[in-house]
Structure 1
Amino acid sequence: MKVGLGLPISEPAALLEWGRLADEGPFSTLGLLDRLVYDNPEPMVALAVLAGATSRIRLQTEVLLAPLREPALLAKQCATLDRMSGGRFTLGIGLGTRRDDYEAVGADVHRRGARLEEMMGAMRRLWSGEPHGEGIGPIGPKPARRGGPEVLFGAFSPAGIRRTARMGDGFLCAAHLADAESLFRSTEAEWQAQGRSGRPRLVAQFNAALGPDHLIKEARDRLYDYYSGPRYMNLPDGFAEGAVASITTSDQIRDTATRMGDIGADEVMFYCWASDVTQVDRFAEALSSA
């Protein structure tokens, strides 16, 4: 099973070093989250910079809040990043859980699911080379992957899982360890119900930090800050508390990877919330000693 590394968001300039070290290690993917009303780097810009600093590792948004963006421009950005990285881009896409991100761009938070589906339909058509509309030609460049980059949907709800099966290439699970198996099985069942061939790609995501106590405390403090405030919508019960607890030992890293492999995950992403770049080597060492 593949193991990816989610990047910290507190020091954007340091991400180049993270990327170079991860590219030399055992990791399959670099992931970067998306928020608007928060002190984090914009993921499409940051991943484009990381594409130039790496040669092997995949680049993934996790998840991009698509309804905040305009679909034609986003389709062009995704195709450009996919093409220029040699097909190493995966679009992890979703709705997010904060009202203020939508309010900042004047987007209707109540239509975000419908907006996401409209956008995906439009982007798939553009990636296939179809004209944008009457009197408006195609929008290039062609992505490296025929039909567009791989698309994973992040979701918790039955509606989100149905959307994954209809429109995606796979499912990005950011739920707790205990919930991952049921969400995977629901995704597979809905995939079959939609008449899709093959199987969805299944990716699990967990927050983690390794190292001395001060690095673990830093990571937990950053998670508390990230999940603080009353403006979250539709998070599963206990999600924030479990996310802040996170994974903090090499044994937990190995156990989580093994358990996810046992329930059918194709990849597990460990998101680092401590900013010290030595985290890359610590995670690599934990994985190599399995």
Structure 2
Amino acid sequence: MNVGLGLPVSDPPALLEWARTADAGPFSTLALLDRLVYDNPEPLVALAVLAGATTRIRLQTEVLLAPLREPALMAKQIATLDRLSGGRFTLGVGLGSRRDDYKAARIDPHERGARLDRIMADMRRIWSGEPYGEESGPIGPAPTRPGGPEILFGGFRRASIRRIPRFGDGLLCASPLAEMDRVFRITEEEWRTAGRSGRPKLVAQLYAALGPEPVVDEARLHIQRYCGGPQYMDLPAHYADMVVERMLTTPGEVREAVDRLTGIGADEVVFYCWANDLHQIDRFADALT
């Protein structure tokens, strides 16, 4: 099974060295999260920089909060990143659950699902080469793959999963490890019901930190900072504590998770490394061999 790394976001200049080191290792993907009201780097811009620093590893948003963005410009940015990376870009897309992000973007959070559906239809039309509207022609550049890059939808509720066969290629699942089998099977069921051939790509996302106790403690602090606060619309108030408790902290836990996910049909797992210690990359590589 492929294994990717989610990049820490508290020190943006360090991402270049993370990317170069991971590109030289056994990893399949580099992923970056997306928030607006937070001090993370904007993922499309950051991944464009990392595309130039790497040669083979895939680049992925996990997930891009598309409802916060205007579709025509976003489609152009995504296609540009896809082309400049040589087709190595995967668009992980989703809604997000933080009310402050939507307030800052002046978007009604209660309309985010319907807005995402309209945006996906617009971007698919743009990437197909059709005129964007009656008074505008096609918007380029064309993506590397006809119809747009690989698209994975983040989420674990059925309403989100139903978007996968309509607009995408697979699932990004950040639910607890114990629930992923059920979510994978629902995804496959919705894929078949929609009449799609083949099977959806199934990608798991887990939080992890490998190293001495200060590295693990740093990861816990960053997770608490990122996941904490009162702004969630549809998650429990103690969500940050739940995420910290589920974080994997030993090579044995990492290997066990990979074995378990392989057994339920995952195509890839992305381990999000919240601590900045670059040596985590070698520790993950060692844990996987």
TM bucket, shorter chain: over 0.9
Structure 2 residue 137 is matched with structure 1 residue 160: no
Distance 1:172 1:217 in 2: 26
Distance 1:42 1:174 in 2: 21
Distance 1:236 1:85 in 2: 38
Alignment-derived partner of residue 70 in structure 1: 70
Distance 1:33 1:161 in 2: 19
Cα pair 1:30 1:59 within 8 Å, conserved: yes
Alignment-derived partner of residue 218 in structure 1: 218
After superposition, residues 256-271 of structure 1 pair within 5 angstroms as 256-271=257-272
Q: Specify the SS of the correspondent of 1:197.
A: coil
**Residue-by-residue CA offset, 1:229-269 (whole Å, 9 max, x unaligned):** 11112237975333112000000111101111110000000
Shift of 1:279: 1.1
Alignment-derived partner of residue 277 in structure 2: 276
Alignment gaps of 5+ in structure 1: none
TM-score, length-scaled by structure 2:
0.98
Q: Specify the SS of the correspondent of 1:196.
A: coil
Cα pair 2:203 2:266 within 8 Å, conserved: yes
Distance 1:112 1:147 in 2: 23
Cα pair 1:154 1:171 within 8 Å, conserved: yes
**Residue-by-residue CA offset, 1:181-221 (whole Å, 9 max, x unaligned):** 10000000011111111110000000000000000000001
Distance 2:152 2:264 in 1: 18
TM-score, length-scaled by structure 1:
0.97
CA 1:206–1:237 in structure 2 vs 1: closer, same or farther (change >3 Å)? farther
Distance 2:20 2:91 in 1: 21
Shift of 1:159: 0.6
Q: Tell me how many residue pairs correspond in the alignment.
A: 288
After superposition, residues 1-290 of structure 1 pair within 5 angstroms as 1-235=1-235, 239-245=239-245, 246-288=247-289
Distance 1:187 1:256 in 2: 20
Shift of 1:145: 1.1
**Residue-by-residue CA offset, 1:52-85 (whole Å, 9 max, x unaligned):** 0000000000000000000000000110000111
Distance 1:121 1:8 in 2: 32
CA 1:168–1:239 in structure 2 vs 1: closer, same or farther (change >3 Å)? farther
Letter in 1 for 2:253: Q
Alignment gaps of 5+ in structure 2: none
Cα pair 1:65 1:94 within 8 Å, conserved: yes
Q: Specify the SS of the correspondent of 1:205.
A: strand
Letter in 2 for 1:110: H
Q: Specify the SS of the correspondent of 1:268.
A: strand
Distance 2:108 2:72 in 1: 19
